[in-house]
Each structure stands twice: as structure tokens, then as C-alpha cells.
Structure 1
């Protein structure tokens, strides 16, 4: 059942933790930062949480106005969870927490990395030239498709099929993370079969290899 525990502390930090401090709550928020997801999507992205626990967290976050349910129109016609405007305000907090967490050692193997997590790393760590022409990419990770767009020096990521991608990449989140942190090259990943590339190779390399200096998202797991 959802909890109603409280710190009983008047400090605004404690009151915020009354809302999002339960186990898995902030990871649910993280998974919704790039758009709505179905319950099954969240379960796949958070394999360590039970269905009952995830249901409780979602109910709690809904009751506090952080998350909402909505029905997608046909042909999808499925129920998804999405962040409210109030929940969206947690984004810089979650990403800052991830930046702080980079100094914390990785847990013992095996470890899980969700598609959303590595795409947040992509969005925060890439800094295309503002003069570069806009580009659209199709990324397929864990059997889900994402649209990545670059425009005016920014990277934008959202769930769903792009209309007319310049290039595409199909891989798993861990391999994409390794490409982004530079521990493997795109050429090596292609040789080993870890990635499948389509479209404009040069455009894809520009996206993967253009770093943003010291800017970091909360999602990076590599060294």
C-alpha cells in the first residue's frame, strides 16, 4: 500500500522528501523526464522494483501532484504516466543529484542502465555547433524508439519515431554509454556487431563525438 510516512519536520527540504524521498520515487521521475511511459515501460526500465512497489510509488506521486495518468488517443489507446508541471520542476534537481553521484563508485556487477538514463547523458554531454545544420536521428534502445534532434547548439530527445531521420543507431544502453564516454569507438562497435547504423555515418559521428566540455548530465555512468 502507498505510504503516508512523514519526517514531521517543517523544513522545506524535509517536506519535499516526504513527497519524493521514498525508495524508487526519484527514479520514476527520472524515467518520465523524456516523456510519458506505460507501466510496462517503467517496469522494464526499473527491473529491481516489484510491480506492487511501482504501483505504490506511482499512486503516491499521483496523490502529491507529481505524476498523472492519461489515455493516449487511438491507435495507441494505452494508459501512460506523465509528469505534471510540478513534477517537471524536479528535472534540474534530479540531474544535479546525478552530477553529484558521479563521485560515488558503481555498485557491484551486474548493474542496470536504462535507456532514459543514457539518453539524458547524451542530451547533457553533447554540444553541437550552433552553426551546424539541424539534424534528426532515430535511436533504438531496448526495443524502444527515440527521436534525437540537434538544433541551435542543443540536443533534444523524445520518445517515438522521427519523421525523416538523417541517421539511425540501434544498440543497447550500455554500448551507447560507452560510445558517449569514449571507451569504445563507433567503428569498433560496428565491427563487433554491438551497433547497427543507418543513414549518414558522418552525421552520427558528429553527434556522438561532439563533447560539451565540462557539462554533465545526471545520467552518465562511465568514468
Structure 2
């Protein structure tokens, strides 16, 4: 027996813009897909690996819905295989501000943090971007390289990111660093724990979850920034 089409809020007579937003991205998966596209295009297989628990059929359906709504679009990567991938549209990229507000709001939840849960590499970086204060004052110029892997899904490979902090200019994006002050390598969940003060960096290094090379003082300046943010939200 075929189920009747799901009614939208608009079908029910609700003209609120927030209600329309929920029609677009308010299901179980759409914001998580958007999170994994926030830093750049991703292949279907990348999304299948990163969006924990989604089936290929549901992912296909969600991507089609988001494309029809104007949130994502298909692109062809500039590689030898001319791989097809997905990326956020300019309008879809505006979800980062929405997710930042939701993330900060969720920190006050009695159910946060979720015990035993993990973070994908992109999820960890988006969380950092969410919690970065506007125009933070750098105590010193800092340039970090981050090489993160989700140990729950090692086949997904390493993701590389660049953090540059100069005076009040703060940039955290996907990419490599030619001559970083320090480089952090390891598990994305462990890195999130170090950034937001949920576990000491030394202990994570001792356990083999993270490895640090280079100027530890540069890394300490970054960790101090985020620990201050975490303390304010606690």
C-alpha cells in the first residue's frame, strides 16, 4: 500500500518562513548532509561514509530534495576521472550561520555532549567554525595544519585543513599549509575533545589518538581560544 504524500507546512496553511525552512531542511538528514558539504564538494561515497546511519536510497532521495529546493547542486570535479560530486549553492551556504546558532543553542542542552558519539573530520572543523568568536584577537600569528581521519571509518581517508590566525583575521578552511607553525594529526573525535576541553591534549597524545609536531605554543594559543568559548557556554 502506497503511503500518501507527506504534507508540508505550506500545505497545512502555515505561511511562516521558519516553517518553510523546516520543509526544506527539517528532516532527519538534511542539515547533516549540509554540514558535510560546508567545506567544499563531496562525492556521493564521501557523504555515504560521513552521514552516519543513512542508506544509499535515503541519501539519494535527500540530495534530490535538496537540489530541487536549491540548497545543493551537482558539479564535476577537476580530476582525471571527472568525478561527479555535490556542493552547496550560495544560498545553501547560508546554512552555516543557521547551524552555528543551533550549535551554540545545543550546548545548553542537558543531553549534551552525547556520550560515546563521534565527529567526522568535516564535522569537527565546522564545529570549530561555529564556535569561533567574531574577529578574535591573536596573541601571536598562528598557522596550523590539521590532518584528521575518522577512526570509525578509516577507509574514508585523511582530510586536511588550514588554520590561519593573524591579528583579528581568522581563517579555517579545507586545504594544506606549506610551512605550518605546528601540525596536528589524528582522530577527528579526539581533536574535537582537545579543542573544547573535554580531554587533555597530553592524554590524547599518550593514547595515540593525536600527534603534534612543531611549535606547541602556537597550538596552545588556538586551544586557549576555544576553551574560553567552551567555558562561556558551559
Larger RCO, structures 1/2 (Cα 8 Å, 6+ apart) = 1
Q: CA deviation at 1:50?
A: 0.9
Q: Over aligned residue pairs, what C-alpha RMSD do you find?
A: 2.7
Residues 1:74 and 2:79 are matched in the alignment: yes
**Aligned partners of 1:168 and 1:145: how far apart in 2?**
10
**Aligned partners of 1:202 and 1:190: how far apart in 2?**
16
Where do residues 4-83 of structure 1 align in structure 2 (5 Å cutoff)?
5-7=7-9, 8=11, 9-75=14-80, 77-83=82-88
Residues 1:99 and 2:107 are matched in the alignment: no
Output one character per residue of 1:105-137: Cα deviation in whole Å (capped at 9) or x when no partner. 048754232222221232344565346225242
Output one character per residue of 1:42-96: Cα deviation in whole Å (capped at 9) or x when no partner. 1222121111111111111111111011111124732221111110122211111
Q: CA deviation at 1:154?
A: 4.2
Give secondary structure in 1 for the equivalent of 2:161: strand
**Aligned partners of 1:149 and 1:89: how far apart in 2?**
22
Are residues 54 and 98 of structure 1, via their aligned partners in 2, closer, same or farther at CA, if it must alter by over 3 Å? same
Are residues 131 and 108 of structure 1, via their aligned partners in 2, closer, same or farther at CA, if it must alter by over 3 Å? closer
**Aligned partners of 2:117 and 2:99: how far apart in 1?**
20
Q: Is the 8 A contact 1:171 1:194 kept in 2?
A: yes
Normalization by structure 2: what TM-score?
0.79
Q: Is the 8 A contact 2:34 2:88 kept in 1?
A: yes
**Aligned partners of 1:74 and 1:111: how far apart in 2?**
34
| Greater alpha carbon shift after TM alignment, 55-64 vs 76-85 | 76-85
**Aligned partners of 2:28 and 2:146: how far apart in 1?**
33
Normalization by structure 1: what TM-score?
0.83
Q: Is the 8 A contact 2:71 2:89 kept in 1?
A: yes
Number of residue pairs the alignment of both structures matches: 216
Q: Is the 8 A contact 1:138 1:169 kept in 2?
A: yes
Output one character per residue of 1:166-221: Cα deviation in whole Å (capped at 9) or x when no partner. 221112122112111223222222222221122222222222223374479xxx9x
Residues 1:159 and 2:174 are matched in the alignment: yes
State the match for 1:178 in structure 2.
193
Normalized per residue, which structure has more helix? 2
**Aligned partners of 1:212 and 1:126: how far apart in 2?**
11
Q: Is the 8 A contact 2:74 2:86 kept in 1?
A: yes
State the match for 1:141 in structure 2.
149
**Aligned partners of 2:213 and 2:228: how far apart in 1?**
28
Q: What are structure 1's unaligned runs of at least 5 residues?
A: none
Q: What are structure 2's unaligned runs of at least 5 residues?
A: 151-157
Larger radius of gyration: 2
